[in-house]
Structure 1
Amino acid sequence: MDLDAYQAVHEPAWQRLDELVRTRRRTGAQADELVRLYQATATDLSAIRSAAPDPEMVTRLSQLVARARAAIAGAHEPSWRDALRFVVVTVPAVLYRLRWWTVAVMVAFLAVGCVAGVWVATNPDALAAMGTPAERQHYVDEAFAQYYDPGAGFAATVWTNNAFLTAVCIATGISGFGPLYFLYSNAVAVGNIGGMMAAHDALDVFLSLIAPHGLLELTAVFVSGAAGLKLFWAWVAPGPRTRGTALAQEGRALFTAAIGLVGVLAVSGVIEGFVTGSGLLWWVKIAIGALALAAFWAYTIVLGGRAVRRGETGDLDEDRAGYAVATVG
């Protein structure tokens, strides 16, 4: 396709469509013309995407088609039904599609963390790198437990920080390096602290304080890493789709996971802020964390499996994603 020649022929129609979109009050004839030009421009956009995918032209026409669709159909007004569908269909569908990626990330994370922990616990030089003997003893005896200060402020701080980090992990997924660095650094950090606690005969303290909230919090980390890596894989191996289509579809769906993880991390933050540092018996704390984790996987497998079997992917529907052309009649 000669893009310059194609643009020269169709530019007047595109400009006319833009003019009609900007018009506040349209006559019946103008409304009919708007629909006709919208359909023609959507066809032009499809042709350019497939034959000569110039990024600037595709972006321009995509925006024009989206504005024209909104002018024809009206802006979508969110309702409680949309919010409910997002929670019980869209988010679990994405989490279900990520389940095996999540398990793989979990296994790799725990393996790296265990290796790091054993290395620190059994290697004097690695243990010395964690601080002076006095600093390490203070951390083990006081600082580690004091970090979990019960209260709403602490819970909110933990929640916002973790939600931001998981969103960044997914957002940098296209690089492949971002999620791997995020997961590796966190696995080593957790392993190092566990190893230092074990070297001072306080592994039980470490597990009893990290398990209540960590079961759900680390699962959210695993999901974010899985989402980021899956986005990278969509770019590497798009299958029958073009890379642009694969990235658009998976990107929209996986950012749904980022939004869903905000809720997951909110629950984890509440547990960390009000349960981990509380005076409850250690087994009660861990039972609460285990129950929260079981609820997450039930939500993912039961609701997510049902949604995926119905054909849900977590992506926008075709009309809102820009793949369907509005028609009349």
Structure 2
Amino acid sequence: MDLDAYVAEHDGEWRRLEQLSRGRRLTAAEVDELVALYQRAATHLSVVRSRSPDPALVARLSRLVLAARSTITGGSRISWREVGRFFTEGFPLAAYRAWPWWCGVAVAFTLLTGFLMWWVAGHPESASAFIGEDAAEALVASEFAGYYTEFLPQTFAFHLWTHNAWLAAQCLASGVLIVPVLWLLWHNALNIGVVGGVMISYGRGDLFFSLITPHGLLELTGIYVAAGVGLRIGWSWIAPGPHRTRGRAVVEAARDGMLVAVGLVGLFAVSALVEAFVTPSSLPAVFRIGIGVAVWLAFLGYVLILGSAAAAKARLRASQPA
């Protein structure tokens, strides 16, 4: 194959295709021309690759074909309208649909955490069994409060954000198996219950609640939402409901799970900022707790108000004739 002759023969077509692929508005005739030249350039690329794979020419034709394909298909551009719709409808609707699940998880594991805390506080010897007497004394003396000031706030916030997002992702991904989610929730309840019980048994319950409440309300709610949505995915396989196959039920629940997963990234970013900057601050406890409660109530209101509105809109669309 004479490569120079091949380039000379088709160079005009390639230049014309390059002109049409520059993103300007095309007429109907130009669109037809673009599609035809794109198909021919794709064939030329295949010929060059198979017969005379010159790297420079292959790179040029590859860029040209990709640019033309992007022009034809419209490319993948961020639509701010879709981003806004995700935050005003997509995420709150997905979380709202699963509210019985995550509210049930929140109530059950809050009660379990409270029971563990009460038991450890009322039986001081149990603290030694869980973490050891020396570790319990160190926890009360400095380690619990020191945890929030050990690192720079921005570093601490990033660590908390990624850790909690990863924990939520585990709850969502393993939800179809159910048991792993329950295990993660039990482990979380045990940690909080034991630490809280130890602090209370040593007379430092005020310190414990003043430090954990500002961020804990929102952070734990995010974990419970992820766990509830994950369990909903698992239950959709066990009991898909009438007029739905198991596969369809799981797909629909998993689609909501994906929306929740993305939305919770933002929630955990907020809770991480609160934990890194508000929790260890010198503000009086009542102000720090007030900030935490305000952020928590704002999230609940956001999900319940916008989620219920989006659900009503979805029902209205479904009731209209096709």
TM range (shorter): 0.7 to 0.9
The AA in structure 1 aligned to 2:297 is A
- For residues 71 and 305 of structure 1, the distance between their equivalents in structure 2, rounded to whole angstroms, comes to 39
Q: Is the 8 A contact 2:278 2:288 kept in 1?
A: yes
- For residues 238 and 71 of structure 2, the distance between their equivalents in structure 1, rounded to whole angstroms, comes to 37
In structure 1, runs of 5+ residues without a counterpart are 1-24, 31-69, 313-329
The AA in structure 1 aligned to 2:81 is R
Question: Equivalences for 1:150-189 in 2 at 5 Å?
Answer: 151-189=153-191
- For residues 218 and 210 of structure 1, the distance between their equivalents in structure 2, rounded to whole angstroms, comes to 10
Q: Is the 8 A contact 2:35 2:72 kept in 1?
A: no
Post-superposition offset of 1:151 = 0.9
The AA in structure 2 aligned to 1:306 is A
Q: Which residue is equivalent to 1:120?
A: 120
- For residues 71 and 153 of structure 2, the distance between their equivalents in structure 1, rounded to whole angstroms, comes to 48
Q: Which residue is equivalent to 1:246?
A: 249
With the length of structure 1 as denominator, give the TM-score of the two structures: 0.71
Q: Which residue is equivalent to 1:325?
A: none
Q: Deviations over 1:262-301 (max 9, x none)?
A: 1001000000000001101000000000000110011011
Q: How many residues align?
A: 249
Q: Which residue is equivalent to 1:18?
A: none
Larger Rg, first or second structure (1 or 2): 2
Question: Which among 287, 290, 294 is matched to residue 293 of structure 2?
Answer: 290
Post-superposition offset of 1:73 = 6.1
Q: Which residue is equivalent to 1:143?
A: 143
- For residues 134 and 254 of structure 2, the distance between their equivalents in structure 1, rounded to whole angstroms, comes to 48
Q: Give the match's secondary structure for 1:279.
A: coil
Q: Which residue is equivalent to 1:104?
A: 104
Q: Give the match's secondary structure for 2:283.
A: coil
Give yes or no for the alignment of 1:265 onto 2:264: no
Q: Give the match's secondary structure for 2:174.
A: helix
Q: Is the 8 A contact 1:96 1:304 kept in 2?
A: yes
Question: Which among 210, 213, 216 is matched to residue 211 of structure 1?
Answer: 213
Give yes or no for the alignment of 1:94 onto 2:94: yes
Q: Deviations over 1:48-99 (max 9, x none)?
A: xxxxxxxxxxxxxxxxxxxxxx999655533111111111110010111122
Q: Give the match's secondary structure for 1:129.
A: helix
Q: 1:192 to 1:311 in 2, by over 3 A?
A: same
Q: Is the 8 A contact 2:172 2:257 kept in 1?
A: yes
Q: Which residue is equivalent to 1:84?
A: 84
User: Greater relative contact order (Cα 8 A, min sep 6): structure 1 or 2?
Assistant: 1
Post-superposition offset of 1:26 = 5.3
- For residues 74 and 243 of structure 1, the distance between their equivalents in structure 2, rounded to whole angstroms, comes to 35
- For residues 253 and 270 of structure 1, the distance between their equivalents in structure 2, rounded to whole angstroms, comes to 26
RMSD of aligned alpha carbons: 2.2
Question: Which among 195, 198, 221 is matched to residue 196 of structure 1?
Answer: 198
Q: Which residue is equivalent to 2:305?
A: 302
Q: Is the 8 A contact 1:130 1:136 kept in 2?
A: no
The AA in structure 1 aligned to 2:254 is G
- For residues 175 and 104 of structure 1, the distance between their equivalents in structure 2, rounded to whole angstroms, comes to 18
- For residues 131 and 307 of structure 1, the distance between their equivalents in structure 2, rounded to whole angstroms, comes to 47
Post-superposition offset of 1:152 = 0.8
Q: Which residue is equivalent to 2:284?
A: 281
Post-superposition offset of 1:125 = 3.8
